[in-house]
Structure 1
Amino acid sequence: GVRELDDYRSKCRYVKTHRACSSKGYLNYLVIFYCTFQGVPVLGYSVLFLWFMILFYVLADTTSEYFCPSVTQISRNLKLSPTIAGTTLLPLGNGAPDVFSSIISFTRSGDEDVGLNSILGGAFFVCCCVVGILCISVSSHQIKIEQASFMRDILFFLFVLCCLLVIILIGKINLWFSLCFVSLYIVYIGLVSVMHLYYKDERVINAPIPILSADELLETPLIDEEKGINFVPVTDEFRWTKLIVSVLQLPLSLPRKLTIPVVTEDKWSKAFAVASSTLAPILLATLYTTQCQETEDFRVIINACSFLCGVVLGGLSLFLTDSSSPPRQLAFLWLTGGFVMSVTWTYIIVEEVVSLVVSLGDIMGISPSILGFTALAWGNSLGDLISNLGMGLKGGEDGAQVAVSGCYAGPLFNTLVGLGLSLVLASWREYPEGLAVAGESDVFETVGFLMGGLVWAVVMVPKREMKLDKFVGVGLLGIYLCFLSLRLVKSMGLL
């Protein structure tokens, strides 16, 4: 391979002429590293790692600023119950990067181990590290969590991992079994709904009379009008700093603003609405035509139709929307458009992240599966650590309950929906033949340690009277550190 060559000119020639080194994303990182930065590897590594962080920033920003608001508004528009929304749209919003990382990896031949290790690595990190840190952080508050939902989530997750182990042991899965695997999430939603109804009725019977009604609580002002707010004066230095940051962010934010419709009250802009409704069909067509294997005439027709569609939608947006407020009529269509385009941008960014991870693995001589388990999984799960830890520390007993539930429901969603949809799409591609699923020892170790962390939690938390304490947290962190140490020793060839 390229690492066996001595000089950078030979390496540059190699990556340019060998098909195996061709880019699987929009940029060829091997060419950038070996040709653009030949002889200066430190600068090449610095640029690639900086770009890696920028991609994660854009991914997180797209999820929080566009994807999650669309999901929230669609949930309200459809009038979904909190239980159904909490087990479908909310995990989708939080787990979108993991889901798309898995789908992209499985739909590309040869990159399946990146997606599999990213999903399992993220689940392991959240279930052990995030829950462990949360337990240690709230241990002084003597917080108790609800036993029924805690046991339900962990036991169902253990069942799902057992099913996954069976698939890996068999080494093959067809389309129908892939559909059965992903449909397990429907079973989970049904179980959550039934338990919610049962315990809701039980709480209503035993509930004390509230001191304040829900309406009164909602009407209670967050700010005392008499005391007001002490505003910090904005200095010229702050204005200049904000201006510089805005200018630096412009190349990253402007393309998304011009193609993703946003119809929330605080972010409504008629100019961007017209631009996004015009350019969104053109972007979708461009992405399709650059990746399809159709004839040149067919691509021209698709691009022409998308241009006409964009002009029509842009004209309708120009004449039928108000400049002061988002549209009330046909709001669901706008929300659907925003959802589709935020998914599109998430897909684009994740595709580039996966391509960069694979290229970094080739450059550094590290297995892409290890990078998927560590860098990709940690990056995708960092938001879970921050949000769940903040909720657990500031939300009291209810906040801790929501945080712990999210730590298990989120990875469960990513495994069943993210990995399940990936298996469905990949097995559909191989239909009627089955999809070969690699059963490497690393995967068995990952699943084994993950199941060990789940068993530790499901045994020790009830023994500690459902309290989140340091003993449980240290045990979970210890399991994760033992696994990382084993992986490190094996990667160094010492075992």
Structure 2
Amino acid sequence: MITPFSSCVFKPKIVLTITLIIIFAVNAYGDTTTSSTCTALHEQNLSISKCNYVTTNIGCTPKGYINYLKIYYCNFSQIPELGFVLLLIWLVLLFYILSNTASEYFCPAVEHLSQTLKLSPAIAGTTLLPLGNGSTDVFSSVIAFTSTSDGGDIGLNSVLGGSIFISMVVVGVLSLLITYREKVVILDKPNFIRDVVFLLVTLTNLLVIIIIGRISLLISVIFVSTYIIYILLVWYMHFISTKKHKAILEAAKDNEHHFIRVPLLGLVDEEEVVHPAERIVDCDEKIVPYSEKRCINMLLYVIKLPFYLPRRVTIPVITKDSWSKSYLVTSVVLAPIMVALILNTQMGNLGLKTSLVMYFVVFSIGIALGTCTFAFTSSIMPPQKCLVFWYASGFLMSVTWTYVTCNELVSLLESLGNIIGMSPSIIGLTILAWGNSIGDLTANVAMAMYGGPDGTQIAMSGCYAGPLFNVLIGLGFSFVFVSWSNYPASYVIPEDPYLCETIGFLMVGLLWALVILPKRGMRLDQTLGGGLLAIYLCFLFIKLARALGFLGFDLLNYL
């Protein structure tokens, strides 16, 4: 069964944005008298001097838990090729852990939590799902704005960079893949126009704020309140659509040969009846002998065990398919300890006494929770009471694991950039930006291709509802906090001559979709996809050319 939460499968974006911004904010907030970069690394000629440099220079200190530069320049100084290959393999594994954590733990927790709270699919799809996927973006933006003087610039670029990738690249790839598969998909026009127009209006308001250069507390409150209007409109449209669909279903319920699906975003008539029980079997699929298949499964299990077990024993799971009382008891004992370890490492040296007290408290809490879980849960079926607590615990721990993985992923990407001599600006524009949004691309493509009649509708909704949430709530709350701290004076927006350029490209992409789709009968095709990808390539070319020094003017001023 397809639910509105299936669109968050392979969703590694959840905490990557907050990790990046916290890293930059902490760096900027630190001692400015010390070196904060590792730029002189390639000025060292000898391998031993490079090893000494990365171990003594503060700018080469890893942001994660592993010192990749030390491993590469010290442990593999004689065979750097092997060291680089191992780092690339670890990069792939980190992306796998990030995607798998979201698909196996985060999405089921969000889905079951919404069912427990009895939220309708339309309302949950525009509230709980964006909140789960974008809550860390909100926190990251607030942290960036309130931590340093440069944090506002980082927060604005982070949110806008993710929005332009999702609304152009993801939608473009979806359209081209659907055309390639010769699949006819007609989007629900009213809901599509609602989302795109709201995003355009929001970007217009943001552009005005940036041009003015300051924002007051009242304006910031009005800006963030726009999302309430959006939710109320979604609620109203869903109410009207539900009444209409009920009337249609009642009129057609006696017709056994007519099958109607009611998706999240509207009614889609399918000439071909789609039965959930049907399974398309590839004629070329080879039958693998049982013994060989068993050996392959055992080998895969052994390979995945080191990455599966740590998450399984720290993330509470109470679904029927994955139910295990021993795992649940272990997870509720170890989860608080893991959170304490992360807090202790991220908050710096808290002192021996403070650390011991914290560990004693969380260990006591874990033992108490484990004892209660062991005493009051069945060994043959998952708990039937306090479901909100269990699903919320699984949600929080899956976010925690995503944070840890993203922290390590960003550290590795920065280290690889230093190894190959890539400038930080290009790393941010390419590797980090794409890594930040690769989850949205994977999730929405998978949802559109294999999510049934509703899959493309849900995927397209996520391509516009997600950026809208991040801009209105993420930047909106950031504006409220900084305006409040400066009250009665207004908050001065950090000067960045290229923010307007980014917003301009984003609006061009949205207008292209808003014009092309209705003209094409709301069908996704190569015209929409090719145009969006062309606009993004132009945007990327200008950014990279400017970063490399080939372009020294502001495009908007030039035009």
* Shorter-chain TM-score above 0.5: yes
Output aligned runs, 1:74-473, within 5 Å.
74-93=113-132, 117-139=157-179, 141-169=183-211, 181-204=223-246, 208-210=251-253, 211-212=255-256, 222=277, 232=287, 234-292=289-347, 294-393=350-449, 398-418=454-474, 438-473=494-529
Cα distance, 1:428–1:244 mapped onto 2, change above 3 Å: farther
Worse overlay, 69-78 or 34-43: 34-43
Q: Which residue of 2 aligns with 1:47?
A: 86
Worse overlay, 106-115 or 482-491: 106-115
Amino acid aligned to 1:349: T
Cα distance, 1:142–1:299 mapped onto 2, change above 3 Å: closer
Q: Report if aligned partners of 2:318, 2:383 keep a CA contact under 8 Å in 1.
A: yes
Cα distance, 1:260–1:422 mapped onto 2, change above 3 Å: farther
Cα distance, 1:16–1:390 mapped onto 2, change above 3 Å: closer
Once residues 358 and 422 of structure 1 are traced to their aligned partners in structure 2, the CA distance between those partners, rounded to angstroms, is 27
Instruction: Pick from 465, 482, 488 the counterpart of residue 544 of structure 2.
Output: 488
Once residues 33 and 303 of structure 1 are traced to their aligned partners in structure 2, the CA distance between those partners, rounded to angstroms, is 34
Q: Report if aligned partners of 2:217, 2:490 keep a CA contact under 8 Å in 1.
A: yes
Cα distance, 1:215–1:448 mapped onto 2, change above 3 Å: closer
Whether 1:6 and 2:44 are equivalent positions in the alignment is: yes
Once residues 426 and 517 of structure 2 are traced to their aligned partners in structure 1, the CA distance between those partners, rounded to angstroms, is 31
Count of matched residue positions in the alignment of Structure 1 and Structure 2: 488
Once residues 461 and 334 of structure 2 are traced to their aligned partners in structure 1, the CA distance between those partners, rounded to angstroms, is 40
Instruction: For residue 323 of structure 1, give the secondary structure of its aligned residue in structure 2.
Output: coil
Cα distance, 1:173–1:378 mapped onto 2, change above 3 Å: same
Once residues 124 and 536 of structure 2 are traced to their aligned partners in structure 1, the CA distance between those partners, rounded to angstroms, is 31
Per-residue CA deviation, residues 252-310 of structure 1 (Å, 9 max, x unaligned), is: 12111111110000101111111111111111222222333644322221111111111
Q: Report if aligned partners of 2:261, 2:453 keep a CA contact under 8 Å in 1.
A: no
Q: Give 1:51 shift.
A: 2.4
Once residues 386 and 367 of structure 2 are traced to their aligned partners in structure 1, the CA distance between those partners, rounded to angstroms, is 19
Q: Report if aligned partners of 1:281, 1:310 keep a CA contact under 8 Å in 2.
A: yes
Q: Which residue of 2 aligns with 1:60?
A: 99
Cα distance, 1:395–1:239 mapped onto 2, change above 3 Å: closer
Amino acid aligned to 2:51: C
Q: Give 1:159 shift.
A: 2.2
Worse overlay, 142-151 or 397-406: 397-406
Q: Give 1:380 shift.
A: 4.2
Cα distance, 1:372–1:181 mapped onto 2, change above 3 Å: farther
Q: Give 1:323 shift.
A: 1.0
Instruction: Pick from 48, 65, 68 the counterpart of residue 26 of structure 1.
Output: 65
Q: Give 1:348 shift.
A: 1.5
Q: Give 1:145 shift.
A: 2.1
Q: Report if aligned partners of 2:98, 2:402 keep a CA contact under 8 Å in 1.
A: yes
Per-residue CA deviation, residues 124-150 of structure 1 (Å, 9 max, x unaligned), is: 222222222333344555543222111
Instruction: For residue 266 of structure 1, give the secondary structure of its aligned residue in structure 2.
Output: coil
State, as a whole percentage, how many aligned pairs show the same letter. Answer: 47
Q: Give 1:195 shift.
A: 2.0
Amino acid aligned to 1:89: L
Instruction: For residue 267 of structure 1, give the secondary structure of its aligned residue in structure 2.
Output: coil
Instruction: For residue 511 of structure 2, give the secondary structure of its aligned residue in structure 1.
Output: helix
Q: Which residue of 1 aligns with 2:11?
A: none
Cα distance, 1:393–1:310 mapped onto 2, change above 3 Å: closer
Q: Report if aligned partners of 1:101, 1:351 keep a CA contact under 8 Å in 2.
A: no
Cα distance, 1:98–1:253 mapped onto 2, change above 3 Å: farther
Q: Report if aligned partners of 2:425, 2:547 keep a CA contact under 8 Å in 1.
A: no
Q: Give 1:46 shift.
A: 2.9
Give the structure with the larger helix fraction. 1
Q: Report if aligned partners of 2:164, 2:506 keep a CA contact under 8 Å in 1.
A: yes
Q: Report if aligned partners of 1:101, 1:350 keep a CA contact under 8 Å in 2.
A: no
Once residues 286 and 46 of structure 1 are traced to their aligned partners in structure 2, the CA distance between those partners, rounded to angstroms, is 30
Q: Report if aligned partners of 1:122, 1:373 keep a CA contact under 8 Å in 2.
A: no
Once residues 429 and 249 of structure 1 are traced to their aligned partners in structure 2, the CA distance between those partners, rounded to angstroms, is 48
Cα distance, 1:339–1:393 mapped onto 2, change above 3 Å: closer
Q: Give 1:412 shift.
A: 2.2
Once residues 250 and 176 of structure 1 are traced to their aligned partners in structure 2, the CA distance between those partners, rounded to angstroms, is 53
Per-residue CA deviation, residues 397-425 of structure 1 (Å, 9 max, x unaligned), is: 64433332222112323434455566678
Instruction: For residue 23 of structure 1, give the secondary structure of its aligned residue in structure 2.
Output: coil
**CA-atom RMSD in angstroms:** 3.8
Worse overlay, 482-491 or 422-431: 422-431
Structure 2 gap segments, 5+ residues each: 1-38, 263-274, 280-284, 552-559
Q: Report if aligned partners of 1:114, 1:369 keep a CA contact under 8 Å in 2.
A: no
Q: Report if aligned partners of 1:143, 1:467 keep a CA contact under 8 Å in 2.
A: yes
Q: Which residue of 2 aligns with 1:16?
A: 55
Worse overlay, 204-213 or 406-415: 204-213
Cα distance, 1:231–1:467 mapped onto 2, change above 3 Å: closer
Cα distance, 1:118–1:272 mapped onto 2, change above 3 Å: same
Q: Report if aligned partners of 1:67, 1:343 keep a CA contact under 8 Å in 2.
A: yes
Worse overlay, 484-493 or 54-63: 484-493
Q: Report if aligned partners of 1:118, 1:372 keep a CA contact under 8 Å in 2.
A: no
Once residues 6 and 270 of structure 1 are traced to their aligned partners in structure 2, the CA distance between those partners, rounded to angstroms, is 55
Worse overlay, 330-339 or 266-275: 330-339
Worse overlay, 35-44 or 19-28: 35-44
Q: Give 1:321 shift.
A: 1.2
Once residues 358 and 499 of structure 2 are traced to their aligned partners in structure 1, the CA distance between those partners, rounded to angstroms, is 42
Q: Give 1:47 shift.
A: 3.1
Instruction: For residue 160 of structure 1, give the secondary structure of its aligned residue in structure 2.
Output: helix
Q: Report if aligned partners of 2:153, 2:496 keep a CA contact under 8 Å in 1.
A: no
Structure 1 gap segments, 5+ residues each: 225-229
Cα distance, 1:249–1:426 mapped onto 2, change above 3 Å: farther
Amino acid aligned to 1:464: R
Worse overlay, 405-414 or 207-216: 207-216
